[in-house]
Structure 1
Amino acid sequence: MQSRYSNLLVAAGLLLGGVSACQQVPTPSATRPTAPAASPWPTVTTQMRPWTRWWWMGSAVDARNLRLQLNQFKEAGLGGAEITPIYGAVGYEQQYLDFLSPSWLKMLHTTTHTADSLGLGIDMNLGTGWPYGGPQIQPEQAASKLVVQKYALAAGQSLKQKVVLQDPKHPGRAPLVALTAYGSKGERLDLRSKVTTDGTLNWQPTAGSWELYAAFGGNTRQMVKRAAPGGAGLVLDHLSPEALKTYLNRFDQAFASQPTGVRSFFNDSYEVYGADFTPRLLDEFERRRGYDVRPYLRELTSQSTTDQAARLRDDYRETMAELVQENFVTPWTTWIHGKKGLARNQSHGFPGNLLDLYATVDIPECETFGITRFPIPGMRYYSEEAAYKNPPPDLVMLKFASSAGHVLGKPLVSSETFTWLGEHFKVPLANCKPEVEQVFLAGVNHVFYHGTTYSPTEAKWPGWLFYASTEFVPANSWWPHLTGLNDYITRCQSVLQAGRPESDVLLYWPVYDVRHHAPPDKLEMLISIHTIDEWLQPTAFYQDAQQLIKRGYAVDFVSDKLLQQSQVSGGRLQVAPQGAVYQALVVPKVAFMPVETLENIVQRARQGATVILQELPTDVPGLHQLETRRQRLRAITAALNFRTVGAGVQQAEVGSGRVLLAPNVQQALEYRNITRETLTDSGLKFIRRAVPDGRYYYLVNHTATALDSWVALNTTANSMLLLDPQTGRSGVAASKREGNSTSVRLQLQPGEAMIVKTSTTPAAGPLWPYLTPTGTAQPVAGPWKVRFTEGGPALPKAQQLSHLVSWTQLPDTSAARFSGRAEYTTTFTLPTKAPADYLLKLGDVRESAHVWVNGHDAGVVWSFPHECHIGPYLKKGRNELKIEVANLMANHIIDLDKRKVAWRKYHEINFVTLAYEPFDAATWSWQPSGLLGPVTLTPCAPVKF
C-alpha cells in the first residue's frame, strides 16, 4: 500500500480549501469563474459558462435595451443566449418587429456584434415559438394526418356519397390515398381506380356485404405555438423534404450571403400532434417495408391489439422514423453547416429513434421539465407536488442525448434546464443546484437556463416574463446572487468539457419493443419526456440502466444503427474514433430485434467484444417476410452453444470473443472482471472524463448523510487533486493505492459536490486541508442592524433586531410585502484566534446570502448547506459581519395581486400557474424572508490520519 500522507497536519497558512462540516475557505475572488494562470482548473471559455434561452416577446427589442441586457448577462457570469421570439406584451404592439424583417435582422446584428464585443455567444431558434412553421407553409406542405372514413355496401348497391373528406374545417380538398373494400368472405380489393375526380365511386359489389375504408391525406391544422409577429402560420410537415425546403428558403432569402454571427441554430422538442402522414408515405412504406400497406388499411387503423395489427403499426412507425430522419433532421443539419453554424436539436418527442436523431446533429439537447425532490436536509420546495402534471426529470431519459454525444465523441451535450422548476416566483437558487447536478451526472456539459425574458427598462417591475420559465431575470430578487450558481456551473462544465467521456457499458435500446407495445390509438409514436411513465420506465431496459448506474457502472445507450458503426479493438467496443470506449455491450430483455442487429451483435463478439444478453431475443419486428426472418433469428440463437460458467451466468464462445447469457447482467460483468465504482455504495453519484494524464471524477452527495471517509476509485493513480466547484479552491488530496484502485479521502456534506483529478504523475501544490470541528458552535447573537437596500414595492425602514425573525413578522408592514435584498450587520469578539479556521453557519436563510467579514468578501452562500469558512478574515478582538440576504419575488407579486395591479398583460397564453390555470397570487401566504438563523461560529482544526 502506498499512502500520499501518513499523518496530515495542515497549517493555517495552507488553508486553501476543504469541504464537509468544515468546508473550503473562500477568498475575495471565490465567486469569479475565471481561474488564474496557475490554477489546476481548465481555462474557462465562453461555452463553459451557463447560457440562457432569451425570450424576445413580440420581438419588441431595441438596440439600447439589447446592449444593456447583454452587459447584465456578462456581469452575472453567463456565457451566451439563445434568441427565441414569441408572442408579445399588450400595449407595445407599435414596437413589435416582424420576424426576419429588415428591422428584425438589424436587431439580430446589433445583438451578435454586441455579444461578440463582450465575449458572449449567440444562438438562435430557427423559427418563432414552436414547432417549426410559419406564413411560408401552405396547407399542402403542412403537418398532415391520415384520415379514414368508412362506408358499407351490400350486393348490387352503389355508394351514394362522394368519396371525399367530410370535414368542413379542412382547408381545401384532401387527396384520396387509399380505398380498400373488405368482403364478408375475406376479400380485399383496391378501388382507387374506380373513383372519379369528383369522388364518385363506379363500383358495385356483386355478392355479400362489404366494408369500404377510404384514407385521405388530411391536415392537422396545427398552428405554430406561441408564435411571434411574422412567425404565425401552419406547422410544417416534418416528413416532407419539399416542406423543409420551403421553410428554409425564407431564411436563405433573409440571410442572403451575409454571415449571421450566430453560433448555432436551434430546434425545440417535437410537439407536432396528430401528424402521422405525408403525401409520399404510403409509397415510401411499400418501398422500404417491402409490401403495400393499403390492403391492410382496416387493421392498421383499428384499435386492435392483435399481433398483426401491432406489426403493421410498427412498420408504419418505422417508416415515419426514417422519413423524419432523412427528410428533416439530416438536411436541416446540412443546411445549418452551409450557414457556418452548428445544429442544436432537441430530439425528444420526435417519431423516430432518439439516439439516431441526436447523433445526427452537432449539439444534442435534452430537457428538464419539473423538479426532482432530493433528500438534502433543509431543502425546501414551495410548489405543490400535485400541480406537476408530468413525471419529474429522469436521469435515464436525459442520457439519450448524452449517449449519442458520448458514443460519437461530440464535444457538447446541452440541456434546456429548469423548465417549470417550480411555481412562479417561488424557486430559490438552492433548488437549482441538485437539479443541474443531475443534468451533469447524466452527461450534459452545456447548460441553457429556461429562461430569461427580454424586458425594456420602461416596463414596470417585474418586467416582461414568460409563462413556463424559472425567472432568470435581472428583476429577480436573487439576481445579484446568481453569480454563485453561474460560477459553480462554469467550474463544473470546464471539467465536463475536458478530454473525452469515459464509460464502462454500452446498453442497447430496444426501440422496436417500444413501438410494438405503444398504444393502438395513434399511428405516430412520439418519444416524449412527458410520457416516460408509459414507454420508458416500465421496461427492462430502464430497470437495467437504473441498476447498473446505481451499482457504479458508467452507462451509455446505443441504437441498432449506431451499433452497426461500431468497431472492436483489444476486446473493447467503440462507435467513433473520438468517442467513448466500452468494455461490454449489454442487451436487456427484448422481445423484438431485427435479424441484422442480432447478426451484428454476434459479429462483435466474434471480433473479441464481451456481449451480455439478459435473455435471447424471441422475435423480429414488422410483418414483411415474417417467417423467413424468424427462421434466421432462430438459427442465430440456436448456434450459440451456452454452458454454465458461474452463478447465474452462461457463456457461448464465438470467434475470439464471447456471448454471455445472464438474467442479472451485473453478475456477468463481474464474471468478466468488469469492475464497478464502489463509491456508489456510500451514496455518491459520479461521472468521469478521461484526459491524457488521468481522469476527472465529478462526485455529488445527494443523500441526507455527511460523508467523511476514504473512498475507493476504480483507477490507479500516483496522485489526486481535489477541486471544489462550489468555491473554486483546490489542493493535493490524501490518497493511497490499494491494488488496482486508489482511495481518496473525502469530506462532503449533503448537497455538496467535489471534483477529483487523478494523475499518473505526482501532484504539486498545497495540500488539501481536511478539517473537523474542535469545539461547540458559538451563537452570533447580535443585536443585528437590518437595512433594506433594493427591492419593492417600497423599502421598509431600517430595523435593529435583538433576535432574528422573518421580514413578514417585523412591525413595519411594508416588510411583509417586500421582495428584494437587505443587509444584516453585527459585531462579535474573539478573545483569541488559535483554531486553523472557523465555520460560519447561517442557519435558516430565505433564500440566499452574500457574506462579508471585516470588509472582506467571503462569497455567495446560495445553496445547502448555508455555511462558509471565514477563518482567514477573522482577527483577535472585535469583528464585523455583514450578510446581504435576498428573498423570493413572491411577496411583491402577492402584494400586486392583492391590490389588483395589472401586471400580467401578454397576448396568447398570457400567464399561467404550474397547473396551467390563470395565475393569481392574491390568495398566497406571505413567504418567510430574510435571515432567520441561528447564526453560529464553530472553530475547526486539521484532521489527523
Structure 2
Amino acid sequence: MKRFFSILIITLSITISSMAQTTKSVWPVMEKQMKPWVRWWWMGSAVDEKNLIQNLTTYQKAGIGGVEITPIYGAVGYEARYIDFLSPKWMDMLRFTVNKSTSLGLGVDMNTGTGWPFGGPQIKPENAATKLITQKYNLKEGEKLNEPIKVKEAKQEVAKLQALTAYGPKGEILNLLNQVEANGNLNWSPNKGNWEIYALFAGKTRQMVKRAAPGGEGFTLDHLDKSAVNVYLKRFNDAFGNKPQGIRSFFNDSYEVYGANWTPTFFDEFKKNRGYDLRNYLRELVGDDGNKETIARVKSDYRETMNDLLLNNFTKPWTNWAHQYQSLTKNQSHGSPGNLLDLYSAVDIPETETFGSSYFPISGLRRNKEDIRNVNPDPMMSKFASSAAHTTGKKLVSSETFTWLTEHFKTSFSQCKPEAEQLFLSGVNHIFYHGTTNSPSDAVWPGWLFYASVQMNPTNSLWPQIGGLNNYIARCQSVLQAGKADNELLIYWPVYDVWNQAKGLDIALKVHDVDDWLHPTPFYKLATSLSKTGYSFDFASDHLLSQSTVANGLVKTAANASPYKVLIVPQCEMMDLNTLNKIITMANAGATVIFQELPKDVPGLNDLSVRQSQLKTALGKLAFVGLTDGIKQFKTGKGQILLASDIQKALTYKTIKREELTDSGLQFIRRAITGGKYYYVVNHTAKAIDAYLPVNESGYVLFMDPLNGTYGLAATKVEKGQLKTRFQLKSGESIILKITKAKPAVTNLWNYLQAPGTALAFTNPWSLHFSQGGPALPADQKLEKLISWTELPDEKLKSFSGTGVYTTSFNLPAKNAKEYVLSLNQVDESARVFINGQEVGILWSIPFEAKVGKFLKVGNNTIKIEVVNLMANRIRDMDIKKIKWRNYHEINFVDINYKDFDAAKWDIMPSGLLGPITITPYN
C-alpha cells in the first residue's frame, strides 16, 4: 500500500510538473520589464529608508515591475525632510532604493535631472538655453546710426552680438560686424540709397527648470551646445564618483525647452552642414515677407541644423554618457525641433506619451465630457517611437501613459484598458504609469499627489484591485516584447515637407500639435488608410534609408531588425537628392519601391539650381511603363519602382497581403518569433464579433487570454489556402494568437460559448459590508435590489471611497451546461469575485464577465463580490467641507484644464455593484 501511494505521489508530481511546464511554455517567462512601471515622483526628495521600503514593497506586491525616479517640488510643511538633489544624503537614498528594489525584483530608472527640462544650479547663464534676438535698423544715404547696437530686450545683459548684416537697395549684402566698436557704435554709413540693417544677438531664454526639486533649481540647459551638456553632466559624474549606480535607464522627458532656437556656435555649424553663410540671410531667417520660396528654403536649412545640433550635441552624447555607467537611455523625443525618427533612434528606449483620452465606441465605456481634455492621443504619433525601435532592432518601446486620461480621482481601470491597448497596437510594449507619488505613512489621506497624474497611488481606493490591470498589461507585454516586430511595409517620412515652411522659425513637433504638422499631410492620410485596411508598417527617415541595405529583395534597416517587403514613398514635394539616389540604388539591388507621386523639388538653398537639375536628371531616367489600374513600373537591376497614386492597388499587384480581419473592425499587431508568430487582436468596436476570420499565417493556432491567463487551441479551417480562425470577442475584449508550425504541447480546446440558455437571476437579498476606506466606514446594509450605494439612506455613503463587500446565495438546480458565464454588467468601478469560497478573479474591465462553471455546484451556492469605487466622492466631500488636503509648493494642484481645482461642484459618482447580475449557461 505504501508503495502504491509512493507511485501515486510520484505520478501526481510528474503530472503537476508537466502542467507547470506546459503553462510556462505557453506564456513567456515573466520578467520585470514586462510588468507596468511607474513614474515615481519624489516630492521635495523627502524620502527615508522606512517609507522607501514600505512604498517599494507595496508596488512590488501590486505587480509593478519598476520605478522611474523624478524628484520635484515638495509638500508645504515638510521642508525639514527635503533632501537636496545629488547631495551625499540624496545619493545614499538612491543607493538604498536601488538595493531594496533589486532585492524585491524591481528595476530602477532615474530622470537625469529634476522636474523638466534638464537644467539646474550648475547651469550658469553662459550654458543656459539660448535664443536669437534680432533688431532692425534703417539708414539712409550718408546717415550714421545715432544709437549703439546693443540688445534692447530687458534682462539680456549677457546677450552677445553675433551678426550685423546690411541689405542695400540693389540687392547688396554687407557684413558689418567688424564695423561695430567696443561701445556698440556702428562706424559705417551707406553711400547711397536706403539700407536695412539686421543685428542678431545670442540671448538667453531665461527659462528655469519647471517643477524643480530642492537642489535642482536653475536655468534650463542649452541642449544644442556640447560643452554646455558636458557641464551639465559633470555634476552627475561628481555625485556618482564616476561609478555605475545600478540605474537601468536614465530618462529625459518631452522636449519643452521653450523659445530655445539658437546656440552661440550656430553660424559655424550651419555653414559646415548647409554649405553657405546664414549671416547673409538674416532678413529671410527672421521674417516672412519677401520671396516666400527663399524664406522657406533658408528656414528649412535652419531647422535641419537645429536637428543636427540636438542630435549630435545632446542626444548622442547623453546616451554615450549613460553607457559609461552601464545604463541605458529612455527619451521622449517628441516636442523636439528635429527629425523625431532620428532622435528616437539615437537612444536605447524610445518613449512616446499619451495626453488626454481617446474616444472608443466600446459599449458601456464611460466618457463624461466634463472629465476629459480636448486632446485625442494619436496612434500614428506613437508609431514614431515604435518605428525608431523596430527599424534599429531595439527591443523596448515605452510610453508615459494615462497623463490626464480623465479628471483627477475619476479614472477607472476600465477606462485605462483601451488606452493601453491602443498603445500596444501602435508598437509600445513597455508602459509607464503617470504616475505614483512617494508618500510618507504619516501624510493624511489622500497622501502626497502630483498635479497631472491618474494617481496610481496606494492611497487610491481602487488600489486593492490594481493587480487586475497590472497582470493584464504584464501578460500583453510579455508577448509584445517577444521576438521581433513583424511589419511588412516601410514608409518614408518626408520631413523636409514639414520643415519647408516660410512661417515661424523653429518647429517643435509636439504631441499636442499633430493637427498642425502631421494630420494635414499625405503621409498621415496614407498611413491611417493602410492601417485601417490591414497593413502593418514602420516609418523611415532619410538617415535610416542611407544606412539600409537590400538582400533577397527585402529592405534591411539594421542587422537585428526584421526586413521589409516594400518601401513606400508617399506624396511629397521635397526630397533630398541623396535620398532619391539611395532609393533608386536600393531598387536596383532588388527592392520593391512604390512612389505615390514622384518628388517635385530638392530642399534647402545651397547650390539650388545644380541640385534641381540633378533631381530632374535622376527622375528622367525612371522610364516608367504603364501596367494596369493606374500602376506604372520601372524595372532596374534586380528590383523595380512602381508609381501609383493608389498605393493599395500597387500592393495588391505585388501580392502583398493585408490582414483581412480588420474588415470586421478588429485591430492587430504581430510579432515574429522562432517557429511562428504572435497576433495581438483587440475589439474596440461597439459590437460583439463571432466569426471565422483570415490570418496571414499558417500552422496551429493557440488562443491566449491576457485578461486571465487561460489558453486553448482555437477552432480553425482552411478555405482556398487561407487559414481562418474563429474569433469570439465582445466589445472591449482582446485575445492573443500564437501560431506555430510545430504542434503545441497544449491539448485543451479553446472554450467557445455557444447556444446560451436561460439566464439565472439573483433573487435573494444582498448583504453589503464596508471593509476599508473612508472618511468613515458606513453601517452594514441589506439590499433587496442592487443600486448605487450613494443612493442608500446612510449619508456616510455619499462621501465614502473604499471597498464594499456584497454577499448573497443562489440556487443552481442542475449543472448540465458546458460553461456558465457570470455577468456583473454595471460595476463602479472594479470587482473581485468569490464563488463558494474560491476566487474567480478581478473583473475590472468591460464587459465585466467571467467563465465560472468550474466554481459552481448543484444546489445552494454563495457569492461574494468585493467592489472598490473611485476617490472622487471622498475628495468632493473634503472640498465641500473645505478640508485642506492640497498644499504644495510651485504649481500646487490644478484640474484637467489647469484651473484651480475644486471638487465641491462635482456630482456624486455612482458607486458599487449596480448589475443586473446574471449567470448564463452555454452548451
Which TM-score bucket, shorter chain as reference? over 0.9
User: Alignment partner for residue 347 of structure 2, among 354, 361, 364?
Assistant: 361
Amino acid at match of 1:591: E
Q: Which residue of 2 aligns with 1:747?
A: 728
Distance 1:487 1:104 in 2: 33
Alignment pair present for 1:81 and 2:64: no
Q: How does 1:817-856 map to 2 (within 5 A)?
A: 817-856=799-838
Distance apart, 1:878 and its partner CA:
0.6
Distance apart, 1:921 and its partner CA:
0.4
Q: How does 1:770-919 map to 2 (within 5 A)?
A: 770-919=752-901
- Residue 368 of structure 1: SS of its match in structure 2? strand
Distance 1:560 1:762 in 2: 43
Query: Do the aligned residues in 1 keep the contact of 2:75 with 2:888 (CA within 8 Å)?
Result: yes
Aligned sequence identity (%): 54
Amino acid at match of 1:747: Q
User: Alignment partner for residue 589 of structure 2, among 585, 607, 612?
Assistant: 607
Distance apart, 1:867 and its partner CA:
1.1
Distance apart, 1:396 and its partner CA:
0.5
Distance 1:200 1:657 in 2: 65
Q: Which residue of 1 aligns with 2:5?
A: none
Q: Which residue of 2 aligns with 1:597?
A: 579
Q: How does 1:128-147 map to 2 (within 5 A)?
A: 128-147=114-133
Alignment pair present for 1:417 and 2:401: yes
Alignment pair present for 1:244 and 2:229: yes
Q: Which residue of 2 aligns with 1:19?
A: none
Query: Do the aligned residues in 2 keep the contact of 1:714 with 1:740 (CA within 8 Å)?
Result: no
User: Alignment partner for residue 243 of structure 2, among 245, 251, 258?
Assistant: 258
- Residue 458 of structure 1: SS of its match in structure 2? coil
- Residue 581 of structure 1: SS of its match in structure 2? coil
Relative to structure 1, is the Cα distance of residues 903 and 383 closer, same or farther in structure 2, using a 3 angstrom cutoff? farther
TM-score by length of 2: 0.97
Alignment pair present for 1:553 and 2:553: no
TM-score by length of 1: 0.94
1:756-809 per-residue CA deviation (whole Å, 9 max, x = no partner) reads 000111223211121224312222133000001111111111000111111111
Distance 2:80 2:800 in 1: 33
Query: Do the aligned residues in 1 keep the contact of 2:223 with 2:313 (CA within 8 Å)?
Result: yes
Alignment pair present for 1:339 and 2:320: no
Q: Which residue of 1 aligns with 2:475?
A: 491
Distance 1:652 1:681 in 2: 32
Amino acid at match of 2:306: M
Q: How does 1:63-78 map to 2 (within 5 A)?
A: 63-78=49-64
Q: Which residue of 1 aligns with 2:9?
A: none
1:443-480 per-residue CA deviation (whole Å, 9 max, x = no partner) reads 01111110001100100110001011111001111111
- Residue 225 of structure 1: SS of its match in structure 2? coil
Q: Which residue of 2 aligns with 1:320?
A: 306
Alignment pair present for 1:618 and 2:623: no
- Residue 698 of structure 2: SS of its match in structure 1? coil
- Alignment length (residue pairs): 903
Q: Which residue of 2 aligns with 1:435?
A: 419
Distance apart, 1:39 and its partner CA:
4.5
Which deviates further from its counterpart, 840-849 or 733-742?
A: 733-742
Relative to structure 1, is the Cα distance of residues 797 and 773 closer, same or farther in structure 2, using a 3 angstrom cutoff? farther
Distance 1:702 1:173 in 2: 56
Distance apart, 1:384 and its partner CA:
2.2
> 5+ residue gaps in structure 2?
1-15
User: Alignment partner for residue 550 of structure 2, among 545, 568, 583?
Assistant: 568
Q: How does 1:239-638 map to 2 (within 5 A)?
A: 239-304=224-289, 306-384=292-370, 388-389=373-374, 391-517=375-501, 520-521=503-504, 523-638=505-620
Query: Do the aligned residues in 2 keep the contact of 1:97 with 1:103 (CA within 8 Å)?
Result: yes
- Residue 708 of structure 1: SS of its match in structure 2? strand
Alignment pair present for 1:733 and 2:719: no
Q: Which residue of 2 aligns with 1:215?
A: 200
Distance apart, 1:567 and its partner CA:
1.1
Amino acid at match of 2:324: G
1:868-924 per-residue CA deviation (whole Å, 9 max, x = no partner) reads 111111111110010011111000000000000111100101000110000000111
Amino acid at match of 1:539: T
Distance apart, 1:854 and its partner CA:
0.5
Q: Which residue of 1 aligns with 2:667?
A: 685
Relative to structure 1, is the Cα distance of residues 563 and 739 closer, same or farther in structure 2, using a 3 angstrom cutoff? farther
- Residue 477 of structure 2: SS of its match in structure 1? helix
- Residue 188 of structure 2: SS of its match in structure 1? coil
Query: Do the aligned residues in 2 keep the contact of 1:148 with 1:216 (CA within 8 Å)?
Result: yes
Query: Do the aligned residues in 2 keep the contact of 1:679 with 1:711 (CA within 8 Å)?
Result: yes
User: Alignment partner for residue 644 of structure 2, among 659, 662, 673?
Assistant: 662
- Residue 103 of structure 1: SS of its match in structure 2? helix
- Residue 583 of structure 2: SS of its match in structure 1? helix
Distance 1:671 1:566 in 2: 25
Distance 1:650 1:384 in 2: 52
Alignment pair present for 1:694 and 2:679: no
Distance 2:563 2:199 in 1: 52
Query: Do the aligned residues in 2 keep the contact of 1:165 with 1:173 (CA within 8 Å)?
Result: no
Distance 2:515 2:186 in 1: 46
User: Alignment partner for residue 145 of structure 2, among 155, 159, 164?
Assistant: 159
- Residue 666 of structure 1: SS of its match in structure 2? helix
Alignment pair present for 1:124 and 2:106: no
Query: Do the aligned residues in 2 keep the contact of 1:383 with 1:422 (CA within 8 Å)?
Result: no
1:616-646 per-residue CA deviation (whole Å, 9 max, x = no partner) reads 0000000000011011111111111111111
Distance 1:866 1:773 in 2: 20
Amino acid at match of 2:845: S
Amino acid at match of 2:607: Q
Amino acid at match of 1:253: D
- Residue 405 of structure 2: SS of its match in structure 1? coil
Amino acid at match of 2:870: L
Query: Do the aligned residues in 1 keep the contact of 2:125 with 2:158 (CA within 8 Å)?
Result: no
Amino acid at match of 1:753: S
Distance apart, 1:864 and its partner CA:
0.3
- Residue 261 of structure 1: SS of its match in structure 2? coil
Distance 1:932 1:201 in 2: 80
User: Alignment partner for residue 49 of structure 1, among 28, 35, 60?
Assistant: 35
Which deviates further from its counterpart, 465-474 or 203-212?
A: 203-212
Distance 2:322 2:411 in 1: 36
Distance 1:342 1:383 in 2: 40
Distance apart, 1:858 and its partner CA:
0.3
User: Alignment partner for residue 714 of structure 1, among 672, 693, 696?
Assistant: 696
Amino acid at match of 1:356: D
1:75-107 per-residue CA deviation (whole Å, 9 max, x = no partner) reads 100100000000000000110000000111111
Alignment pair present for 1:180 and 2:165: yes
> 5+ residue gaps in structure 1?
1-28
Amino acid at match of 1:254: A
Query: Do the aligned residues in 2 keep the contact of 1:403 with 1:556 (CA within 8 Å)?
Result: yes
Amino acid at match of 2:228: A
Amino acid at match of 2:572: V
Distance 1:52 1:470 in 2: 11
